Amino acid sequence: MATNRDPQDTGQSPTSDDKLQGLLVHLDEAIALLGEARDFAKPGKLPRVLDTARRVLLQPGGAAAMENRARILEEAGVFLGSDWATPQYLLPALTTHALKNADANTVVIEALSELRLLAVAKGDYPHSLISAEQAHHYLTQVMALNLWLLFNAPSEAERETQGRLAQIPRHLFHHLAERIGYEHIIDKLIEEIWRILQQRPIQVESVKQMVTQIAICQADPEIDLGASGQGADRLVSSLFGPTRASREDPGIEIYRERLSSMDNSALQGEATGFARAMHDTGLVSAYHPVLLRHLLEHSDHLLAEALGLSSTGRDCLLCYRELAHALIRSAVHPATPQAVYGLALMLERGILYQPPVAPAMWRQLGLPLSEWSQARLNLAFGEAVSPRARLLEGVLCMLGQPLGVGQGNNPTCQSARALSMWAYNDPDYLLQMVAWAARDDDIIMHFEGMPLSSMASLSGVADSLPMDLDPVSLIVVPHLDRIYAEMGRRCIGREGDPHRWVNPEFHGWWSGRGFRINVDVATGRLQELDTFLRHFYASYHPYYNGNQPLIHPQPAGIAVTDSAARFIGWHAITILRVSLDPSDVMRVYFFNPNNDSGQDWGDGVRVSTDGNAERFGEASLPFEQFASRLYIFHYDPLERGELAQVSQEELDRVTAYVHRSWGADRLPAAELQADRGPRPGSGDA
């Protein structure tokens, strides 16, 4: 791994070095003026900074010089008022568009943001909003998605739209690779892909882009990966050649011709190969839909094999044969391959046996979409297939992968949680919501007996219409977001937290009417923490609730912390189950709609997504650690366990976790003079 280098140590000629040093003098002057300006005057000072930074980044050694100035640039206000001001929310998948933008300022500010995160990742810039680990993790994904910038010259399109500006992303990425280490990029990328896929998200386009970049690197003789790249073959083959007839990635038409001349034995081999690759990775090759559509004219046995169904799924397929065939004809195309996985998992869940679901799926097949819904789907996903087929793919994926829903880069965790909960627990209600939103551009829900219309409601939590979502969320979330916000407005003036009333009305009758919160809404201070924890243990811990398993998923709220255990914000999750893991540790298994559940919350609290009996899409923590980040939960007040049975020693351990993390600045006034207990790293982790 390379070490940080001074701009002067780059081996460049004295002429280019003199030019860089001259530009840096002008840059430092511009940064100083920006830093001294009041906030309202900064927009007038910013163009000079960005223009000089652009000229610096075009010089050899310019990226290193900008990295060294990352902190003063941010403190001066370069990112003020923009999406880049909150690095913890940046999405790696959006960097490609920014770096290929024709607007010079967009390219420059994106480059400055990456260099800022590089400084954070290397430990040179302790940041209040993002940790070194998070920054390194982000940069690894960014480099994985943009590997072409390391190995390819500007394309004709880039030269036409960007001109010389196209050199800035390449200088940037060569600097990033040298600082992080070329040899780590591919291996980290592969590790990252498998970690994400283990959670089985519905949205896998960014993962497919990463796998495509790996395939390009493997095929390029000028790129020496050395010993790196182990484990990539399964990922690449799952997309581009899972079977004997598709191994060399022949193209859709050639593969279709090959199928027409195969006998049953060969088709059996193809079906088995596709199914194994799909269930191994959660990724579906574009060749798989071609096979599935071909098999509609053959036996259902081969169709079940191609879907990788167990006896449960096979029985469901045979019981609802006409519906399954109609779904394949309408939703399964080379441009919508993930519909295959969604269909397979939906059949495996057996939810078609619920009386309302099959008729609701027939309605979905013929559902007329509003002009607004069609336009949204085309804008987000293109026009390779019809909007109805795209939405149907999303429906199949959500019903098959209810824990794969993500909120994208949007403050809509409540709506994402609701969609996941309905797909998991009440699928026909989800299908009703989709029908209303996609056909009628309106959703009607009730709050304490009063109807609420999404079209009549005011704005929601999100400032703008979210676009980085799966097809169902894209259509339904804007409506749910407005209704959720309207329910909150109906609670204005009530004492206490509005979630007490909103959650059961918004999510469903199964949300417990009992409600506990450990934060005083008026002051933000901790309140009755001991009582709160006793109720949580008595309601959810099998040792204290009569060994009663959780029947329905329950909404809950957590205080999210970073890897240094610093408070970040409040977040909505779903508690799914509580049980012993293979090591006999009692764990809470929960759904987190934030796109990636594997996180380090500091003080030894590291969220697990694999290796502790998690099912696909679940996150988990030991019960004590989960309780230490919980601030809101619901319960059935008629089924409460024994409060007195929870030992004080156990509660003290949880309380110590709280006081060492998000509760450190929220101690009640009476406790401020008392000993706060062990500090981070000195107590039980």
What are the tens digits of pLDDT across the range 568-578? 889 999 999 99
Q: What is the pLDDT of residue 607?
A: 94
Confidence check: pLDDT of 423 > 70:
yes
- Model confidence at 142: pLDDT above 70: yes
Cβ–Cβ under 8 Å, residues 392 and 438: no
Q: Is pLDDT above 70 for 650?
A: yes
The first and second tokens of residue 455, run together, are 């079209």
Average pLDDT value for residue range 289-315: 96
Name the more confident of 130 and 147.
Answer: 130
User: What does the DSSP assignment read for 64-104?
Assistant: HHHHHTHHHHHHHTTTTTSGGG-GGG--GGGHHHHHT-S-H
Average pLDDT (484-508) is 94
Mean of per-residue pLDDT scores for the chain: 89
**Is 70 exceeded by the pLDDT of residue 188?**
yes
Higher pLDDT, 350 or 19: 350
CA distance 460 to 114: 31
- The answer to whether the beta carbons of residues 10 and 19 sit under 8 Å apart is no
Query: In which band, very low, low, confident or very high, does the pLDDT at 140 lie, cut at 50, 70 and 90?
Result: confident
pLDDT band at 1 (very low <50, low <70, confident <90, very high): very low
413 pLDDT above the threshold of 70:
yes
Beta partners for residue 561, in sequence order: 567
Distances (CA, A) of 659 to 205, 483, 534: 40, 35, 17
- Alpha helices, H only, 198-310: 205-219, 232-240, 252-260, 264-281, 287-295, 300-307
CB-based contacts of 194, cutoff 8 Å, min separation 6? 231, 235
Under the banding of pLDDT at 50, 70 and 90, the label for residue 264 is very high
Give the whole-number percent of the chain exceeding pLDDT 90. Answer: 72
* Predicted pLDDT at 111: 96
pLDDT for residue 235 is more than 90: yes
**Would you place residue 155 in the very low, low, confident or very high pLDDT band (cuts 50, 70, 90)?**
low
Question: Tens of pLDDT along 106-129?
Answer: 999 999 999 999 999 999 999 999
CA distances to 87, 136, 285, 366, 605 from 145, rounded to whole Å, are 18, 14, 19, 37, 29
State the pLDDT at residue 596.
Answer: 77
- CB count within 10 Å of CB 239 equals 24
Comparing 212 with 288, the larger pLDDT belongs to 288
C-alpha 255/C-alpha 244 separation (Å) is: 11
Relative to beta strand 586-591, strand 619-622 is antiparallel
**71 CB-near residues (< 8 Å, 6+ apart):** 116, 119, 124, 125
369-406 confidence digits (pLDDT tens): 999 999 999 999 999 999 999 999 999 999 999 999 99
Q: Would strands 514-517 and 554-561 be described as parallel, antiparallel, or unpaired?
A: unpaired
Segment 288-307 mean pLDDT: 96
Q: Provide the 10 A C-beta neighbour count for residue 126.
A: 11
How is residue 163 annotated by DSSP?
Answer: G
- Helix or strand or coil: residue 517? strand
DSSP string, 582-602: TTS-EEEEEE--SS----B-S
Instruction: Quote the tokens at residue 72.
Output: 């003063």
Q: Within a 10 A sphere around the Cβ of 583, how many other Cβ atoms?
A: 10
Between 672 and 126, the higher pLDDT residue: 126
pTM for the structure as a whole: 0.79
Query: Taking residues 416-433, what's their average pLDDT?
Result: 97
Residue 11 has pLDDT above 70, yes or no: no
Phi, psi of 480 (to 5 degrees): -65, -35
Amino acid at 582: P
pLDDT over threshold 50, residue 12: no
Residue 630 host element (H or E): strand 630-635
pLDDT of 678 over the 60 cut: no
The yes-or-no verdict on residue 286 having pLDDT over 50 is yes
Burial 1-34 (b: 16+ CB within 10 A, else e): eeeebebeebebeeeebebbeebbeebeebbebb
Q: Which stretches of 476-598 are assigned E, i.e. beta strand? A: 514-517, 554-561, 567-580, 586-591
Under the banding of pLDDT at 50, 70 and 90, the label for residue 166 is confident
> pLDDT tens, 581-600?
999 999 999 999 987 788 88
Lowest mean pLDDT: which of 4-18, 80-94, 186-200, 437-451?
4-18
Taking alpha carbons only, the member of 89, 103, 8 closest to residue 562 is 89
Say how many CA atoms lie within 13 Å of 275 toward its Cβ: 19
Residues 564, 612 contacting (CB under 8 angstroms): no
Confidence of residue 681 (pLDDT cuts 50, 70, 90): very low
Look at residue 183 in the predicted model and tell me its pLDDT.
57
**Stretch 307-312: mean pLDDT, rounded?**
97
Instruction: Give me the pLDDT at residue 670, please.
Output: 63
Q: What are phi and psi of 445, to 5 degrees?
A: -125, 165
Kindly calculate the radius of gyration of the chain based on its CA atoms and give it in whole angstroms: 27
What pairing do the DSSP bridges indicate for beta strands 450-453 and 444-447?
antiparallel
The DSSP symbol for 450 reads E
pLDDT tens digits along 236-249: 999 999 999 999 99
Summarize the confidence of residues 252-256 as an average pLDDT: 97
CA 554, CA 550: separation in Å to the nearest integer? 8
b (16+ CB within 10 A) / e for 57-74: bebbbbbbbbbbbbbebb
Among the ranges given (137-141, 274-278, 418-422), the one the predictor scored with the smallest mean pLDDT: 137-141
Side chain identity at 367, as an amino acid letter? L
Please tell me whether residue 226 adopts helix, strand or coil conformation. coil
pLDDT for the residue numbered 96: 87
Burial class of residue 297 in the structure, from the number of CB atoms within 10 Å of its CB (0-12 exposed, 13-18 middle, 19+ buried): exposed
pLDDT of residue 326: 98
Buried b (16+ CB within 10 A) or exposed e, 663-684: beebbeeeeeeeeeeeebeeee
